[in-house]
Amino acid sequence: MAHRVVVTGLGLVTPLGPDVESTWAGLLAGRSGAAPITKFDPARLGVRFACEVKGFDPLQYMDRKESRRYDLFAQFALGAAHQAVTMAGLEGKFPDPDRTGVVIGSGIGGMQTYEENCTAYVQKGPERVSPFFVPMYIPDIAAGLVSIRYGLKGPNFATVSACASSAHAIGESYKMIKHGTAVAMVAGGAEAAITGLTVAAFDNMRALSRRNDAPEQASRPFDKDRDGFVLGDGGAVVVLESLEHALARGATILGEVVGYGMSGDAHHITSPPDDGNGAARAIVHCLEDGNIRLDEVDYINAHGTSTPQGDVAETKAVKSVFGEHAKKLIFASTKSMTGHLLGGAGALECIASLLAVKTGKVPPTINQVTPDPECDLYSVPNTMIERNLRVALSNSFGFGGHNVTLAVRKYEA
């Protein structure tokens, strides 16, 4: 028996705000989260701006001792998980902890911890490396910490697939509930990769925008003058449950996850194939998994990173799958406002897709000034719209050729 999988809790810590309400308001307002870097002095770098998290207080979610022993990415995950669990009405106790699990993905893990301890080792010697370095750095620690905090003894692991990590986390959690391995899951992702080393690395591969004079205009998916993505930090977590489990405890149901598709490009370590065939296959698998007709899909939250090649390849993928219906779709990118949260991006964008379906409000793609004729689908340029949406897809693609598409729809009893 296949179980329906519903969403009962959401949590966000993003460059637009430290919670769901502020982030969603920022998305609908078309507000950019990009600004000059404040976490460290970026003067030596070619790129000196990013989408940093603003207004996050870890002491809302943990004591001071814990905050010193958890990398920032894990703090974001714990904050987002707390919000999601609270919204789901599960902060007191999970009804079936043995069959409730945690999957939280991260593309990199504790990068700030890694950089700080490498510097300490080189400059001051091995005795100055923190004894907490390993558990602070490893990408799976966020899932472990959430599991420990809430006593969840079901499936527990991390997904690490670059920028598809948290989309995989939600997809695998959906699949486990659908097939009865678990009754509920806390799933999502987190990243805190805005460090000097990471910015330098992405900049040296010419992946980042260099609009230092106008950071808020730098992330411009589908615009002809786009010149790379903007790095972002944050965390995003959902609570998923089987429909039966949610109804039995009287939960408020926010929406339903109805499809999950994935594929591999088998092409190149950082670039998609020009025709986007890997992305297209992930979309097709998602539609097949959810038994979703092409004409039921009204909105796609694009991976849309603002890179010259990637945006074109994704546009071609959508056209190849949807044919004439592609012209009727909304194909917009919230990364124009949040920047790219790497391993946290998929979960954030899945939540944005769910909220769009739930509210009928669709966030814009900002910084649309000069249309790119190769990216000619409707991107909701610059100003949000209201539209009745049936099914929304969320695309996530990662270095290494990892492709994921998730599908959400309004909950109907």
One-letter amino acid for residue 138 of the chain: I
User: Which of 248, 279, 303 is the C-terminal boundary of a domain?
Assistant: 248
313 lies in the same domain as 367: yes
Q: Which of 168, 245, 285, 340 is catalytic?
A: 340
339 lies in the same domain as 217: no
Q: What is the pLDDT of residues 38-50, one digit of tens each?
A: 999 999 999 999 9
DSSP at 283: H
User: If we measure between CA atoms, which residue out of 72, 100, 71 comes closest to residue 88?
Assistant: 100
Residue 369 binned pLDDT confidence (cut-offs 50, 70, 90) = very high
Q: What percent of the chain has pLDDT over 90?
A: 99
297 lies in the same domain as 240: no
Element holding 49 (H helix, E strand):
strand 49-50
Give exposure, 337-364, as e/b (b: 16+ Cβ within 10 Å).
bbbbbbbbbbbbbbbbbbbbbbeebbbb
161 lies in the same domain as 283: no
User: Which of 248, 282, 304 is the C-terminal boundary of a domain?
Assistant: 248
Q: What is the pLDDT of residues 232-274, one digit of tens each?
A: 999 999 999 999 999 999 999 999 999 999 999 999 999 999 9
- Per the annotation, the verdict on 163 as an active-site residue is yes
User: Which of 248, 268, 286 is the C-terminal boundary of a domain?
Assistant: 248
Return the axis-axis angle of helices 345-359 and 165-178, rounded to nearest 10°: 60
112 part of a folded domain? yes
Contact partners, residue 171, CB within 8 Å, separation at least 6: 260, 262, 404, 406
Q: Which of 303, 350, 375, 402 is catalytic?
A: 303
One-letter amino acid for residue 384 of the chain: M
β partners of residue 318: none
Q: What is the pLDDT of residue 199?
A: 98
The phi and psi torsions of 394 (rounded to 5 degrees) equal -130, 120
Q: What is the mean pLDDT of residues 80-109?
A: 96
273 lies in the same domain as 220: no
One-letter amino acid for residue 376 of the chain: D
DSSP secondary structure letters along 189-235: EEE---SHHHHHHHHHTT-B---TT-GGGT--TTBTT---B-BB-EE
Q: What is the mean pLDDT of residues 53-72?
A: 96
Element holding 396 (H helix, E strand):
strand 391-398
Torsion of CA 164, 233, 134, 201, to 10 degrees: 80
Q: What is the pLDDT of residue 387?
A: 97
Q: What is the mean pLDDT of residues 278-300?
A: 98
- Per the annotation, the verdict on 51 as an active-site residue is no
Q: Measure the CA angle with vertex 373, ends 368 and 378; round to 5°.
A: 55
Q: What is the pLDDT of residue 24?
A: 98
Look-up: residue for tokens 């902060």? 91
Q: What is the pLDDT of residue 92?
A: 78
| pLDDT of residue 131 exceeding 90 | yes
Number of domains in the chain: 2
219 lies in the same domain as 361: no
What is the C-alpha to C-alpha distance for residues 51 and 149, in angstroms, rounded to an integer? 29
Q: Which of 51, 163, 350, 375 is catalytic?
A: 163
In terms of residue numbers, what domain contains 382?
Answer: 260-409
Q: What is the pLDDT of residues 188-239, one digit of tens each?
A: 999 999 999 999 999 999 999 999 999 999 999 999 999 999 999 999 999 9
Quick one: residue 208, left, alpha or beta (phi over 0 = left, psi -120 to 50 = alpha)? beta
- Average per-residue pLDDT for the chain: 97
Q: What is the mean pLDDT of residues 286-291?
A: 98
Q: What is the pLDDT of residues 300-350, one digit of tens each?
A: 999 999 999 999 999 999 999 999 999 999 999 999 999 999 999 999 999
218 lies in the same domain as 313: no
- Per the annotation, the verdict on 340 as an active-site residue is yes
Integer CA distances (angstroms), 197 to 42, 47, 115, 200, 227, in order: 10, 12, 7, 5, 20
Q: What is the pLDDT of residue 1?
A: 80
Q: What is the pLDDT of residue 396?
A: 98
219 lies in the same domain as 304: no
